[in-house]
Structure formats: structure tokens, C-alpha cells
Amino acid sequence: MNSRHQTAARPALSLVFASAIMIYVAGCHAKKPEPAKVDSSHSNATATVVPVSVAPVEVRAVQRRVSVVGTLHGFERITITPKVEGRVQITHFDVGDRVSPGKTLLELDSTDYQLAVDEAQQSLNQELARLDLTQPPPADFDIEQLPAVESARLLLKNARQKFERQKTLVNQNASSGQSYEQAETDLKVAEAALRLSRLNARTTLAAVKHRESLLTLARQKMSETQVKAPMLVAASRSSDSGDFVIAKRMASAGEMVRAFPSTPVFELVMDDVLKLHVMVPERYMSQVRMGMDVEVRVEAYPDEVFPGKVARINPTVDPQSRSFDVEAQIPNLDHRLKHGGFAKAEVIVGTADEALTVPLEAVTRFAGVSKVFIVRGETVQEVEIAIGTQGAGWIEALGGLHAGDVVVTSGQSKLANGTRVNVRENFVQKKIPETPRRG
């Protein structure tokens, strides 16, 4: 019985194995279609031609510039300190206010100084009274005009007349010798009295001068209780107005300030013209000259250029930074530039009439190396360049290029030396501006 069942199952099992083998063979044939292999080979062949856009190398005049950064400073920066001590009574200005030279910034309590003026005036009046004067005499004053001197001179004249009369009488034996001797003594006394009166007049006159000086000093101290903006010769050189702007106020009403050690009360900045101090690498020392144009930019006005001139050049090089200090003066009548601000500047040191320039997009950079691809027939050649002056949409290429060369402006990421290219016929190259960008 079992033998019959085993015999019947063998044909069915063989049929299953045969079907499995047929399916496996069919699957192996399906994995290797010949048409797909042909399409892949065709794709690799066409990938060697890269479509690119191009532009010609252009010749233009460019300005040679030295780019630097620095800090803006006021034409003058002044810390105001009082010349006399006292308590602040009132302040007339605050931070941001503009003041003219000679304007009163603050006032100190002047009570003590007024008393000193009054005392000096009284002392002067006493000395003048000794000379019978009401006002200090001029420098060429003649002391012979003083009453005391004039009185002594008249007494001397009278004594001399008496002496001459007695002398005549004695010669005529009309007078005694005693009268003659008395007249002679009176004459000598009158002469001494005149000399003494003149000496006293000169001494008193000197005392008047001294008291007058003390009064002037007291009045000067009195006037210095009004702290004023200084008068500077530099103001006339730097601008028409010569005004200051108050950068700091360091004293308030009621505060005690001293002359020594000095107490600063205001900081003023003259900003009609600003000074830009920059450190220029020493390799440019032979190129930077006095009077050269400078173009300044600040972050507050990124689209504006503020012109200036090189005003001073330090003749020494800093041994640490290997650079030298250059000062440029920047007109600032609208006061938009601020003292202490950061600025970028370019010193225009010359002009190149035939510089080779390419579009900005033609330059690729990698690991600090700048390069362009130039078209040679149906292939491209990689050329390393140095970057020169940059303008609006263009850049100066130094080395490796010639006028008339054609450079690739798009598709560089797929290029290498000798890569075949296909220049796009419908590409319209944008016009490159002729005017260099300032910055």
C-alpha cells in the first residue's frame, strides 16, 4: 500500500523541480537586456562636451588703489578744564550740542572772586590817593606833575632865592654870617626834600602798578569762572565755521571742580573736517604721496563715497606691523561722519591705461588661487591669474591673459584643462560698465 503511494508521488515532485528550473533560467535572461547597455555607452560619450557661456577679455583704463582701514578723528579734540576752582553754578550746553569758539559752556560760583576784585580795587585806590590821582597814570607819566613833587620843587626854588639873597647881602656886609648859614642849610634841606618827594612818588607809582596788576589778576580769575569754548587758529584752517560739537559733559550743577589737579568738565570735537589715520603696508611707501585723492566709506552710508586728500605721511615705518601712518583729511560740513568711527578707504595712487579685465563671474577661486578658463578652439585651457583692481561687474586680471582672449563665464565647475566645450549661441553677454566701482 505504501509502496503504491510513493510511486505515485515521484512524477509530481519531478514536475515541481522542472518548473523551478525554468523560472530561474527565465529570470537570468531578464536581468541582462542588451538595449540598456547600448544607451549607457551613448550617455558617457555625450558628457564630455560641456555647454558654456563666454565673454571677451576687455582692455580698459583702471585706477591703481591701495585699500586700507582706519579710524576717523576730529580735526581737533579738546578736553576743557577750568583755570580756577569753584562750585558749578550752571551748565549751558550738553552732549551733542554745537558751540562756537568763545561760547560760555558753564559758570562757577563767582562770589569769592568778586570779593577779591573789590579788595584789589580798594588797595589800588589807596595808592592812587597818595599820589592825589583817581585813575592809574599812563606808562609815560611825569612824576613832576604830582602835587608833592611840585610842592618840594617850589620850596627848593624859594630856598635857593633866599640863599642867593643872603649871599649877596653877606658880600655887601649887609647881613650877618648866621643868616647866611641858615639860608644855606635851608637850601640843602629843600634839595633833599625834593629828592625824597621824587623817590616817594616813584615808590608810590610802582605800588600803583603792582596794585593795578593784582586787580587785573583778580578780574581775570573772576572772568574765568565762566568756562568758555577755546579760540583756535586751527579753526580758520579746517573750515569756515570752526564750530565744536560736545562729545562729553563731565560736570553738573553743584559739583565742586578744581584747577589742580585739574577736573575735566567738557570734551569738545571739531568735526567740520575729520582726520582719517590708516596704516599702509611699507611696500606702498614709494607710491603714496601728499595730496593724493582718498575715497572713504563707512558702514552707516554704504552706497556713498566721501572724498578726501592725503595730508600727512609719517616718514618712519613701524617695525612691528611693517607699515607707516598716513593721515587723510575728509571734509565733513554736514557732520554725517563721526569722530571715532571705523572707515574703509582707498588711496588712488595711479592709473593704468591698458589693463586687462574680465567679468567677475569668469573668475573661480580655490585654496587661495584665482583662475579663469580661456577657450582654445573646441576646448578650454586653465589659466592662473592675480587679482588687481575690481570694478562694478568686472575685475582686473594680472598675468596669463591677452587682449582678445575669450573666457568662460558659466559652467566652470565641470571644466578642466582640455575639456571640450560647446559655446551657447543664444547667450547674450551683459554689458560691463566702463566706470570703475569706488570701493
Distance CA 95, CA 245 (A): 8
Secondary structure of residue 288 in the 3-state scheme: coil
Mean pLDDT of the chain: 85
Distance CA 360, CA 98 (A): 46
Q: What is the pLDDT of residue 241?
A: 62
Position 411 pLDDT exceeds 90: no
**Range 205-213 contact pairs with CB under 8 angstroms and sequence separation of 24 or more:** 205/131, 205/137, 205/141, 205/143, 207/127, 208/124, 208/127, 208/128, 208/131, 208/133, 208/136, 208/137, 209/136, 211/120, 211/123, 211/124, 211/126, 211/127, 212/124, 212/136
Q: pLDDT tens, 12-36?
A: 444 444 454 454 444 444 444 444 4
Closest by CA position to 100, among listed 223, 274, 224, 240: 240
Paired sense of beta strands 369-376 and 364-366, if any: antiparallel
Q: What is the pLDDT of residue 175?
A: 72
Q: What is the mean pLDDT of residues 387-407?
A: 88
Q: Which string of DSSP letters, residue by residue, matches 159-208?
A: HHHHHHHHHHHHHTT-S-HHHHHHHHHHHHHHHHHHHHHHHHHHHHHHHH
Amino acid (one-letter) located at 205: L
All three cell numbers of 31, joined, read 536581468
Q: What is the mean pLDDT of residues 184-204?
A: 92
Q: What is the mean pLDDT of residues 407-425?
A: 89
Q: What is the pLDDT of residue 139?
A: 85
Q: pLDDT tens, 251-309?
A: 999 999 998 889 999 999 999 999 999 999 999 999 999 999 999 999 999 999 999 99
Q: What is the pLDDT of residue 196?
A: 93
Q: Which residue has the cell 575639456?
A: 419
CA distances from 240 to 203, 233, 237, 273, 293 (A): 51, 12, 8, 10, 22
All three cell numbers of 131, joined, read 599820589
Paired sense of beta strands 420-423 and 49-56, if any: parallel
Amino acid (one-letter) located at 27: G
Give the H or E element holding residue 100: none
Q: What is the pLDDT of residue 65?
A: 87
Distance CA 369, CA 366 (A): 5
Q: What is the mean pLDDT of residues 346-359?
A: 90
Distance CA 295, CA 112 (A): 55
Position 217 pLDDT exceeds 60: yes
Position 328 pLDDT exceeds 70: yes
Position 41 pLDDT exceeds 50: no
Q: pLDDT tens, 62-110?
A: 888 899 999 999 999 999 999 999 999 999 999 999 999 999 999 999 9
Position 342 pLDDT exceeds 90: yes
Q: Which string of DSSP letters, residue by residue, matches 300-367?
A: TEEEEEEEEEEEEE-SS-BTTTTEEEEEEEEE-TT--S-TT-EEEEEEEEEEEEEEEEEEGGG-EEET
Closest by CA position to 137, among listed 190, 208, 76: 208
All three cell numbers of 319, joined, read 617695525
**Sign of torsion over alpha carbons 286, 287, 291, 297:** negative
